């Protein structure tokens, strides 16, 4: 006979830690198609929602996101010219001397798949 799960929403740190402990146990033991796998799915969702609310992660500034994508994709400043509009603009954007325009944001989002919500943040200019 299967044990009835006692899942509930995560309301505090104690619930959160208990859910993480249970997830750790289930990760090693939940077989596909079982009640334990279903419990793992639900607990993972609940922990994710709790973390979103209580441990929000700040989005990077646009320049950091662009540089990260450059590194990830193996592209250089020259490759950015088609998104930002030329060598001077690439230099100004990457050195925090120019804000991204709407057309730059669109091209970066469409071409490099950088989330628009990251790109629209204002850059602290130097």
pLDDT at 6: 66
Helix (H) or strand (E) holding 110: helix 102-112
Q: How far is CA 109 from the centre of its chain?
A: 15
For residue 12 the two structure tokens come to 């505090």
> Which residue from 50, 43, 5 is spatially nearest to 27, judged by alpha carbons?
43
pLDDT at 5: 55
pLDDT at 56: 85
The pLDDT tens digits along the chain (126 residues) read: 344 556 789 999 999 999 999 999 999 888 899 999 999 999 999 999 999 999 988 889 999 999 999 999 999 999 999 999 999 999 999 999 999 999 999 999 999 999 999 999 887 888
pLDDT at 2: 44
DSSP label of 98? S
Number of continuous H segments (helices) and E segments (strands) in the chain = 7, 0
DSSP label of 95? T
């Amino acid at each position: 006979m299967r044990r009835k799960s006692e899942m509930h929403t995560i309301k505090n740190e104690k619930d959160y830690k208990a859910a993480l402990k249970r997830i750790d146990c289930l990760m090693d033991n939940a077989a596909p198609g079982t009640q334990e796998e279903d419990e793992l799915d639900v607990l993972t969702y609940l922990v994710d929602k709790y973390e979103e609310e209580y441990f929000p992660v700040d989005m990077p500034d646009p320049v950091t996101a662009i540089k990260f994508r450059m590194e990830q994709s193996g592209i250089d400043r020259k490759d950015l010219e088609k998104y930002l509009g030329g060598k001077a603009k690439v230099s100004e954007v990457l050195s925090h001397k120019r804000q991204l325009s709407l057309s730059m944001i669109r091209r970066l989002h469409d071409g490099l798949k950088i989330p628009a919500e990251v790109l629209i943040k204002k850059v602290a200019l130097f």
